[in-house]
Amino acid sequence: MRELTYLEAVREAMSQEMRQNEDVFILGEDIGVYGGAFGVTRGMIEEFGPERIRNTPISESGIAGAAVGAALTGMRPILELQFSDFITIAMDQMVNQAAKIRYMYGGKGKVPMVLRTPSGSGTGAAAQHSQSLEAWVAHVPGLKVVQPSTAHDVKGLLKAAMDDDNPVIFYEHKLLYKTKGDVPEEQYSIPLGKADIKREGTDVTIVATAIMVHRALEAAEELEKEGISAEVVDPRTLVPLDTETIIQSVSKTSRLVVVHEAVKRGGYGAEIASMIAESEAFDYLDAPIKRLGGASSPIPYNPELEKMHVPQVPDIIQAVKETLNKA
Amino acid sequence: MTKFDVAIVGGGPGGYVSAIRAAKLGLSVALVEGRDLGGTCLNRGCIPSKTLLKNAEVINQIKDAKKFGIQVDSYSLELKTMINRKNQVIQQLQNGINSLLKANKIKLYSGYGTVDNQKIITVDTGEKTEKLEAESIILANGSKPFVPNLPGLNEVPYYTSDTIFDIEEVPEHLVIVGGGVIGLEIACIFQSLGTKVEIVEMADRIIPAEDKEAADYLANELKRKGIGMHTSAKVLELKKDKKTVVKLEKDGKETSLETDSVLVSVGREPNLTGLNDLSINYEGKFVKVDKSMQTNVKGIYAIGDLIGGYQLAHAASEEGIRAVSHILGETHPKDFIMPRCIYTFPEIASVGMTEEQAKAAGYQVKAQKVDLAANGKGIASAENSGFMKIISEEKYGEILGVVLAGAHVTEMISQATSFMYLEGTVEELEDMIFPHPTLAEGMFEAAAKWLDKGIHY
Amino acid sequence: MAKEIFMPKLSSTMEVGTLLQWFKEEGDSVEMGEPLFEIMTDKINIEVESYEEGILLKKYFKVDDEVEVNACIGYIGEAGEKVPDNPPAASEESESVENVQEEASAEGQEQTVSTDSDQEENKDGKVRATPAARRISRENDLSLSAISGSGPNGRVHQQDVEAALVAGVIAVTPLAEKIAADHGIDLNQITGTGARGKIEKQDVLSYLEKADEISKETESEPAERIKLKGLRKAVADKMVQSVQSIPHVTLTSDVDMTNVIDLRKSLLPVIEKDTGYRLSFTEVIIKATANALMKHPKLNASLIGDEIVMNNEVNIGLAVAVDNGLIVPSIKNVNQKGLAALTQTSKELGKKARENKLKPDEMRGSTFTISNLGMYAIDAFTPIINGPETAILGVGRIVEKPVVVDGELTARPMMVLSLSFDHRAIDGAPAAAFLTDLKANLENPYSLLV
């Protein structure tokens, strides 16, 4: 199969959709000729023109508001925020407008829009450009939250997000943009709310999101050499969450390690851990659930400290061994 | 001089089984046999008698066929063919033992061995003598028919179990001196062949070592078939007249039997050939051993008929295996749970203690007997004569012994042996499922009745 | 309103007190300061006086009961006042103080303590087990408390329960099982000799025989068993702790006691007249020791945690043998006391100790201990340090021995001093120097006057 980068897969998903659906357009800062902060929309303005690849002023609140309005009037906008940290400015539009309108109008209006935005650390972009704030939006009913980890997943999930009649927050990971994978040429959709078992195992379940999926897989590889069989589950969408797959996996392995890059305190891992503790998998737990997440500090600029802030492969290995009393 | 881990003197069921077991457990083994592999059992005992008993059974079935609506107009007997069949059976089994010895790389010395305290065996093959040495020696010399010093016995022709299986003509009249297992089985063979058989037993009943009820039952059955029984009868003298005259004293009165043939089967005595140089201890005529089958000379073991006791082929085999285990360092011998079989018509099979023995051993005995007269399978096959008896201790229901009498019981006694060996109690025997219809159901009935829960009893 | 009577906490190590006697019955009137009851702690027997006046309304405990400190053991109030039928929980105020202390120390040690796997049960007696372990034990009707956990803090995991299940399957013949049940024998106690360890009749019978023999043996000579408690337990704990935590080194030195004997002879009547007590060698040795300690303050130090505390006072503990153990009353500021005062103090403390009447304060604060076995036929021994002190002096008997003085063999009254010191705090040379000075002090006791 053909290989594409994660970034190319995002672009292809949008281009293919825009070719067949006139209602879809993109708006964001410098997404036109410049191609966006990470170059995702590069070349698209040449194909779709400035009407559909719309540069906006530097106002996330304005962009989001415009997208909500467009969606309400029947368009299917995709808006791009340069860094997911800036969602703070768009928060009122997303939380109080986008998330609520369909509910408050009894379904008479809907807000089919996708907010695409790169998150995560590892690029030396320091405290204001490196955060993973997905737990904030996951907390708000009315918003769907997607965190793809591979080129294949990102194309299919973005198609599903664009097809969805609800506002979807679509997190792309900065460090994943350059990763490659097999991606089918035709359009396809991966349903939101369907987790993917990235690796099967029997001794411990590692639920990992975004870039942590790759670190978990690497850890699993190392653990296998020591006879520990780890199952790696990628939820892919935080809202809706595929609880069934995770519960089944934990019931099988009796041990759970949740890994995400976002700060551990109040992170989405707490939701997954609680969900398991409340589920029928509880009686199968044979070790305390472990969470790995970012440190309780702003993300440092110093590259070494930046690495230390988020879980790395050895941390995952260590956590897994602790659940197995082998640390 | 070749040296072995173990040398075994005697290739009967004790000797050859020990040899194979020792070889299987990694020891180098020599087996010394002066006559035929398989010993008394295969050549002059169990196997020939069972072969001829089968002939007898077939004859009996033909005689009974009418009862089943089958008319057999005439039949004739060919004794020569019967004896040939017996010899073929023996040959086949001997060949089997021979190939087992080869397969297990056991060095076979053909000749009588003489053993000394240094554990050196001198084998006289007839042509030359060979010497071999062993770390341990198992004496499995076996036994031979005991011929008592009866007045006039040497003046008359007589058979022993060594010779009777090669008889050339069916005698018209056979007097068997000795009502033990061997005598009774041979009685059944010749009774079927049409011989008038009379048994003379000195004790007050036949098979005196077995359960009294079983002995009485068997005596009645044999009498019913026309076998003459003279118990508490002492042979005073044998005389050669026109025929052979056997003078008896019974109940203080003298009588005499006239017969054309006599079988002497009053017991067996150990074969002590080649043991003269050994300083082993004896108990009566038999070699004395401990629980591990070792004699007073360290490293010299004795098993089988040589040590007396049960004088059964499977007893000898088990004793041999126990001796090998001890040679290899195992030191926890358990008491034997020894099944015993009599292949008469009907059969008697038993295991463990008789009721009398159990009482003498101090147990609170509760025995329960169930008659097979009402047994479905028994009635269907016209084999509903006999009984099953469980001898148990009262408190825990421990099964101390079982006595079975009737058709096919020798094939059923192992079920009782299993229960005793695995320490099942009457409760488990009652709880277990028996298939219907079988004769074996009688054991369930006996157990149920023992617990006052009997279905048909 | 009725006032609670509490079990007093008389020392920092006291956790429980044993009621020895009540001086009052329920309904008796009690004056403030009147002895109410007597208790035994790990150090001392003491009469406790009433802080209240009124009627003794309630006694919750009887003689020989062990009561936790700060627990309410009774009530004093006005006649007819209602008090609870059962003792209320220990007073909150004092407990919260304890808790704060415990928490503070727990927090400080968290890093090291949390990985400790010795404690198998929580304080409330609950077993630490994972949900999976609980489920499997529940499904198999197995008690978790019987299973030893392999996880941190003894947590029971699934595999522990599964192992217990496998181990718990005892192969036994029906007959053997019946006999064992009949005799009430736990099959776990029996080793099976059958195939794969199956327990057979003979195994049960052998076990019974053996048990029979053992019970016969024990019946013939029942040894008295004395439970370690009270003072005995306190001594035992302290000794173990000292020996296990302190690297002891013992030095010995022969001392010519000729001059001390002379000194005692001349001072004995003086001091007896003055105080009524007879001067003994012990007091001279205490005095000489205090003098040497002043010159060698390291030997007078205490090792507390990772700090060596250089004590300002020279307080010498004197080991006194009592009925059921060892008590060490402390003679304060020995360096400031003359032999007369020392004699009086030491005799009085010794008497109180033997009569079990020492006050807690009189047992605290020693900085160096002397243990004198000179009244027995003992020359030298290896005394155990009375922590947190860093040294202890063992005193042997005085006996005439041949010694060489000025090249001549002669008999002299000799005594061996045995000095054990804590090698964590003190090295060999300073300890040797101290002992040498002490020997000099005793061989020339008049120097003490200087």
The CATH number for C138's domain is 4.10.320.10
Q: In the prediction, which pLDDT does B108 show?
A: 95
C-alpha to C-alpha distance for C417 and A293, rounded to whole angstroms: 65
Whether A287 has its CB under 8 Å from any CB of chain C: the answer is yes
| Mean of pLDDT over chain C | 83
Q: Which residues of A, range 116-145, sit inside 8 Å of C by Cβ?
A: none
> What's the domain count of chain C?
4
Nearest in space to B15 (alpha carbons), one of B338, B304, B330, B322: B304
Average the pLDDT over B417-446 and give the result.
94
Chain C positions touching A325 (Cβ under 8 A) are: 150-152, 157
H/E stretch holding B92 reads helix B79-103
Q: What is the CATH number of the domain that holds C20?
A: 2.40.50.100
Whether A283 has its CB under 8 Å from any CB of chain C: the answer is yes
Interface test with C, best of A286, A289, A290, A322 (most C CBs within 10 A): A286
C-alpha to C-alpha distance for C69 and C42, rounded to whole angstroms: 12
Catalytic-labelled residue, pool B230, B326, B332, B436: B436
CB A178 within 8 A of CB A3: no
Average the pLDDT over C305-321 and give the result.
90
Set out the domains of chain B in order of their start, with CATH numbers: 2-144+269-327 (3.50.50.60), 153-266 (3.50.50.60), 346-450 (3.30.390.30)
Q: With cut-offs at 50, 70 and 90, classify the pLDDT of residue C193.
A: confident
CA nearest to C157 within chain A: A286
Binding partners of B (≥3 Cβ pairs within 8 A): C
Query: Is residue C222 reached through a cis peptide bond, with omega within 30 degrees of 0 on the bond before it?
Result: no
| Mean of pLDDT over chain A | 96
Residue range B364-422, pLDDT digits in tens? 999 999 999 999 999 999 999 999 999 999 999 999 999 999 999 999 999 999 999 99
CA distance B440 to chain C (A): 22
Average the pLDDT over B287-304 and give the result.
95
How do B339-342 and B143-145 pair as beta strands?
A: unpaired
Q: Which of C175, C200, C202 has its CB closest to that of B396?
A: C175
CA nearest to A326 within chain C: C151
User: In this predicted model, which residue has the larger pLDDT, B200 or C181?
Assistant: B200
Contact flag for A and C (3+ C-beta pairs < 8 Å): yes
Q: Do B423 and C193 touch (CB under 8 A)?
A: no
Residue range C263-306, pLDDT digits in tens? 899 888 888 888 888 999 999 999 999 999 999 999 999 998 88
Q: Are residues C335 and C421 in the same domain?
A: yes
Q: How many CA atoms lie within 13 A of B289 on its CB side?
A: 26
DSSP character string of B216-235: HHHHHHHHHHT-EEETTEEE
CA nearest to B422 within chain C: C173
Whether C55 has its CB under 8 Å from any CB of chain A: the answer is no
In a domain, C383, yes or no: yes
Chain A positions touching C151 (Cβ under 8 A) are: 287, 325
In a domain, C99, yes or no: no
Q: With cut-offs at 50, 70 and 90, classify the pLDDT of residue B317.
A: very high
In the predicted structure, residue B358 carries a pLDDT above the cut 80: yes
Q: Are residues C44 and C55 in the same domain?
A: yes
Q: Do A283 and C135 touch (CB under 8 A)?
A: yes
Q: Which of B395, B423, B428 has its CB closest to that of C176?
A: B423
Q: How many CA atoms lie within 13 A of C106 on its CB side?
A: 7
Q: Are residues C46 and C184 in the same domain?
A: no
Q: In the prediction, which pLDDT does B122 show?
A: 95
Interface test with C, best of B334, B423, B426 (most C CBs within 10 A): B423
Q: Do B396 and C193 touch (CB under 8 A)?
A: no
In a domain, C311, yes or no: yes
Q: In the prediction, which pLDDT does C114 show?
A: 37
Pick the CATH number of A196-323 from 3.40.50.920, 3.40.50.620, 3.90.1150.10, 3.40.50.300: 3.40.50.920
Domain end, chosen from C94, C129, C151, is at C94
Q: Are residues C25 and C138 in the same domain?
A: no
Residue type, A317: I
Domain end, chosen from C48, C65, C94, is at C94
Q: With cut-offs at 50, 70 and 90, classify the pLDDT of residue C335.
A: confident
Equal CATH topology for A3-182 and A196-323:
yes
Q: Are residues C90 and C237 in the same domain?
A: no
Chain C positions touching B396 (Cβ under 8 A) are: 175, 178-179, 182
Q: Are residues C360 and C216 in the same domain?
A: no
CA distance C154 to chain A (A): 11
Residue B167 annotated as part of some ligand binding site: no
In the predicted structure, residue C99 carries a pLDDT above the cut 50: no
The domain spans of chain A are 3-182, 196-323
Q: In the prediction, which pLDDT does C14 show?
A: 80
C423 catalytic per annotation: yes
Whether A188 has its CB under 8 Å from any CB of chain C: the answer is no
Average the pLDDT over A254-265 and give the result.
97
Q: Are residues C335 and C405 in the same domain?
A: yes
Q: Do C182 and B428 touch (CB under 8 A)?
A: no
User: In this predicted model, which residue has the larger pLDDT, B258 or C2?
Assistant: B258
Q: Do C158 and A254 touch (CB under 8 A)?
A: yes
3-state secondary structure of B455: coil
In a domain, C106, yes or no: no
CB C204 within 8 A of CB C180: yes
User: In this predicted model, which residue has the larger pLDDT, A233 or C448?
Assistant: A233
| Range of the structural domain that residue C372 is part of | 231-449
Whether C21 has its CB under 8 Å from any CB of chain A: the answer is no
**Cα distances (Å, whole numbers) of residue B232 to A105, B213, B263:** 117, 17, 18
User: In this predicted model, which residue has the larger pLDDT, A214 or C37?
Assistant: A214
Residue range B157-185, pLDDT digits in tens? 999 999 999 999 999 999 999 999 999 99
Residue range C141-161, pLDDT digits in tens? 888 877 888 888 888 898 888
Q: In the prediction, which pLDDT does B409 show?
A: 97
Most confident of B284-293, C75-84, C259-268: B284-293
| Residue A31, both tokens | 């997404």
Whether C130 has its CB under 8 Å from any CB of chain A: the answer is yes
Chain B positions touching C182 (Cβ under 8 A) are: 395-396
CB C391 within 8 A of CB C422: yes
3-state secondary structure of C282: helix
Q: Are residues C175 and C305 in the same domain?
A: no
- DSSP single-letter state for residue C88: P
Q: With cut-offs at 50, 70 and 90, classify the pLDDT of residue C95.
A: very low
Q: In the prediction, which pLDDT does C90 show?
A: 54
CA distance A99 to chain C (A): 38
The separation between CA A155 and the C-alpha centre of its own chain, rounded to angstroms, equals 12
Chain C positions touching A286 (Cβ under 8 A) are: 130-133, 157-159
For the beta carbon of residue C219, count every other beta carbon within 10 angstroms: 8
| Mean of pLDDT over chain B | 94
Q: Are residues C160 and C178 in the same domain?
A: no
Q: Are residues C378 and C390 in the same domain?
A: yes
Instruction: Please compute Rg for chain B using Cα positions.
Output: 23
In a domain, C206, yes or no: yes
Nearest in space to C1 (alpha carbons), one of C71, C49, C55, C59: C55
Residue type, A319: A
- This complex has an ipTM of 0.75
CA nearest to C173 within chain B: B423
Q: In the prediction, which pLDDT does C120 show?
A: 41
H/E stretch holding B130 reads strand B129-139
C-alpha to C-alpha distance for C289 and B277, rounded to whole angstroms: 89
Of A90-94, B196-200, B378-382, C193-197, the one with minimum mean pLDDT is: C193-197
Q: Are residues C277 and C366 in the same domain?
A: yes
Burial label for C124, CB within 10 Å (0-12, 13-18, 19+), is exposed
Residue B182 annotated as part of some ligand binding site: yes
Whether A318 has its CB under 8 Å from any CB of chain C: the answer is no
Binding partners of A (≥3 Cβ pairs within 8 A): C
CA nearest to C201 within chain B: B423
Residue B179 annotated as part of some ligand binding site: yes
How many residue contacts between A and C have a Cβ separation below 8 Å?
29
User: In this predicted model, which residue has the larger pLDDT, C119 or B261?
Assistant: B261
C-alpha to C-alpha distance for B43 and A10, rounded to whole angstroms: 93
Q: Are residues C385 and C242 in the same domain?
A: yes
CB B312 within 8 A of CB B142: no
CA distance C132 to chain A (A): 4
Pick the CATH number of A3-182 from 3.30.2130.30, 3.40.50.970, 3.40.640.10, 3.40.50.620: 3.40.50.970
In a domain, C402, yes or no: yes
Residue range C13-54, pLDDT digits in tens? 788 888 888 888 888 888 888 888 888 887 777 888 888 888
Whether C176 has its CB under 8 Å from any CB of chain B: the answer is yes
DSSP bridge pairs for B7: B30, B137
CB B439 within 8 A of CB B412: yes
Whether C11 has its CB under 8 Å from any CB of chain A: the answer is no
Q: With cut-offs at 50, 70 and 90, classify the pLDDT of residue C121.
A: very low
C-alpha to C-alpha distance for B229 and B179, rounded to whole angstroms: 9
CA nearest to B429 within chain C: C174
Average the pLDDT over C204-233 and give the result.
79
Chain C positions touching B334 (Cβ under 8 A) are: 202
Of A23-37, A204-218, C171-185, the one with minimum mean pLDDT is: C171-185
Q: Which of C173, C182, C193 has its CB closest to that of B423?
A: C173
Q: Do C174 and B334 touch (CB under 8 A)?
A: no
Whether A286 has its CB under 8 Å from any CB of chain C: the answer is yes
Q: Which of B334, B397, B422 has its CB closest to that of C173?
A: B422
Chain C positions touching B427 (Cβ under 8 A) are: 174
* Residue percentage of chain C with pLDDT more than 70: 90
Q: In the prediction, which pLDDT does B247 show?
A: 93
Residue range C241-251, pLDDT digits in tens? 899 889 999 99
Whether C148 has its CB under 8 Å from any CB of chain A: the answer is no
Q: With cut-offs at 50, 70 and 90, classify the pLDDT of residue C125.
A: low
Q: With cut-offs at 50, 70 and 90, classify the pLDDT of residue C89.
A: low
